[in-house]
Amino acid sequence: MPKDIYEIRASVFKALSHPTRLKILDLLSSAGEICVCDIVKELGVDQPTVSKHLSILKNAGIIDSRKEGLMVFYQLKIPCAMEFLRCVDNIIKADIQVKAGFLNDS
C-alpha cells in the first residue's frame, strides 16, 4: 500500500460525504447507466450542480462516464461501493437500536 493510502481513502470518503452524491449513487445503482439529463430530472437539482457532484464522484474513481453525441451517460465504476453503503446503513440501524434501548431503560 502506498504511504498516502489514508489520504486517498479520505478523498473517497469526502466524495461520498454529500447527500446529493449519495442519491446519485443510488440512481446509478438501480439504473445501471443514466444520462445527466435524467439525473437532473430525478433529483430536481439544476444541471450545473449535478455536473459538479458527478465530477467529484468521477475524480474519486467511484463512477465513470461515456459520451454519446451530445449526451453523457454515467455508471458506477466500482459497484462494491453500494456494499459499503449497505454496511453504513447497518451501522446506522445498530446505533438506532442501541439508542432506543437506552431510552427504554431510562
Q: In order of start, what are the domains of the chain with their CATH numbers?
A: 5-78 (1.10.10.10)
Whole-model pTM: value is 0.82
Q: How far apart are CA 106 and CA 103, in angstroms?
A: 5
Average pLDDT over residues 73-98: 85
For position 95, what pLDDT does the model report? 80
Pairing of strands 71-76, 33-35: antiparallel
- If one compares 2 and 27, the residue with the highest pLDDT of the two is 27
Half-sphere exposure of 28 (CA within 13 A, CB side): 25
For position 32, what pLDDT does the model report? 87
Pairing of strands 63-68, 33-35: unpaired
CA dihedral 19, 20, 25, 29 (to 10 degrees): 100
For position 86, what pLDDT does the model report? 84
Q: How far apart are CA 12 and CA 55, in angstroms?
A: 13
